[in-house]
Chains A and B, each alone.
Chain A
Amino acid sequence: MSDESAGDDGATAENVGTRFDRLPATADERAVEGRSTRAEVLEWWEDRFGVDPDTFADYTFWERGAGKVWALRGEEPTPVDIEGLGITFLRTRQEHWKPTLEAVQRFGDAADRNVIHLSREEARRFVAGEDQELDWEGDWGYLIVTADLAGETEPLGVGMYVYGELRSQVPKGRQREF
């Protein structure tokens, strides 16, 4: 599911930050330097969180802004110069890729590793944007944070675990004080 345009002259193109360009399927098809590929994105979700690549079978991935990857249900012609295309999904072009809160709330159900479950009180501090000391035996780095709601475990957002501390990554506009 890719048909990235390389420009008419076939030369390596620069990322145009104001429009949506579809991610190439694989590195062989990459025309824009530093752009992640669909294969890399699928592999990352599987390696980091155990999300089956089939979860995203109906989705296309797009870059708009440097390293900002969006997920769209279905296909559209590329490139497309509009204001929004699905949801922001993943931050690439940095050492540690970072999923968005929106991606985690939408697809986090399918994750089975690097998922940290919080009590109601811990979740309250997390959505308020607070950092907190917590025990965690797994990897450091970005974790999917879950909490119980209406009798089931539900994905809530993204935390970064380092040095015995879970640092809330909830964006300011999504923080809430309870």
Chain B
Amino acid sequence: MDVLERYEPLIGDFAAFRDACERPLPSVVRVNTIKTTPDRARAALDEAGIEHETCEWNDGLLRLPQDQPGANWPYVHGWLHGQEEVSAVPARVLDPDPGDRVWDACAAPGSKTTQLAALMDDAGRIVATDDSLGRISALRTNAERLGVTNTAITHEDARNHSLKPFDGEEYDHALVDVPCSCEGTIRKNPDTLDEWTIEHVRGIAGVQKGVLRRAVQATRPGGTVVYSTCTFAPEENEAVLDYVLAEEACELVDVDLPLESVPGVTEWAGEAFDESVRRARRIYPHHNDTGGFFCAKLEVTA
């Protein structure tokens, strides 16, 4: 069955979308500014004879057309981290400052956690949560290799995240980059849709709603929560936002995105969503020649 057909009504240039989904993606690395600068990382790749090109919207993201991220000297020094281009979007949208207190609700394996830490100059606090010990092991390995010292890691179901270990202190920001049906990663994993079912989409949407609710509750009034997925399914995107807008004290705000994108959709499968979900952004693979992505920013109002 062809899962992507269901999105034809949403996507303007569906042929371009289909074509892009069939092209593989190049390897991309993020420069770890806790340990070096983009200029020095580029110089180190030059020394190693590794071809690279800088992503137009982010000086610290380098495409490696010919190489894998892990097999070079700057990687060994913890200067680089393999991370898909669109996966670097939500931490940029969250835009934390050094000294902030940030919750990363579904953190492992830590690409976005470590990017948040770098944006915070490794100061302030990140609490990074995951419900799988195996994935936490990968998170810890990545955080250590990149020299991240401002992060505390908790093992729990994010829907029941406890502030107790930290004396109940609320967060300035939360990143809710939830597990999803991953349709947007099809260019990296061509078989990602083989096991797609609508039951799975509905089931995982329930988890996503629970995690986003908890994030809004755990963030102080005036703080922000970024919600992101790598799927096109409105059930996991706008429908989740619509639910949390009704249940919790929060509102959607505009997302400042340096990439081509389109607004969130207000109708899907006979359901209408809160008009403000238009403030969320959909990134399709043919927009910027990347993977697919969805990103929204909420402000906590009480």
A interface, CB within 8 angstroms of B: 58-59, 71-74, 76-77, 80-88, 102, 105-106, 127, 147, 149-152, 154, 156, 173-174, 176, 178
Contacts and interface: CB of A to CB of B under 8 A. Distances in A.
Nearest to B166: A76
B76 A106 contact: no
Contacts of A59: 149
B147 A102 contact: yes
Interface residues of B, number: 40
B247 interface: no
Contacts of B124: 74
Interface in B13-35: 35
A73 B122 contact: yes
B145 A102 contact: yes
Nearest to B101: A74
Interface in B41-73: 41, 43-44, 47, 70-71, 73
B276 interface: no
Contacts of B175: none
B159 interface: no
A8 B104 CA distance: 34
A161 to B, nearest CB: 21
Where chain A touches its partner, the secondary structure class is: mixed
Interface string B114-156: 0000000011110010000100100111011101111111110
Nearest to B136: A83
Contact of B152 (A82, A105, A173, A174): A82
A151 B73 CA distance: 13
A149 B43 CA distance: 9
B43 A151 contact: yes
Contacts of A80: 152, 165-166
Contacts of B147: 87, 102, 105-106
A84 B135 CA distance: 13
A127 B124 CA distance: 32
Given A102-B144, A105-B147, A154 B77 contact: yes
Contact of B77 (A74, A76, A156, A178): A156
A119 B8 CA distance: 57
Contacts of B96: none
A59 B150 CA distance: 9
A82 B140 CA distance: 12
B200 interface: no
A64 B147 CA distance: 19
Contacts of B36: 150
Most buried by B among A81, A83, A86: A83
A88 B145 CA distance: 11
B27 to A, nearest CB: 17
7 contacts: A74-B150, A77-B166, A82-B153, A84-B140, A149-B73, A150-B47, A176-B76
Nearest to A58: B123
Nearest to B154: A82
Nearest 9 pairs between A and B by C-beta?
A84-B153, A150-B43, A106-B147, A150-B44, A73-B150, A73-B149, A83-B153, A102-B144, A86-B149
Given A74-B125, A84-B153, 19 more contacts: A59-B149, A72-B152, A73-B149, A76-B166, A77-B166, A80-B152, A80-B166, A82-B152, A85-B152, A86-B152, A88-B144, A149-B74, A149-B79, A150-B41, A150-B47, A151-B40, A156-B76, A174-B76, A176-B70
A140 to B, nearest CB: 26
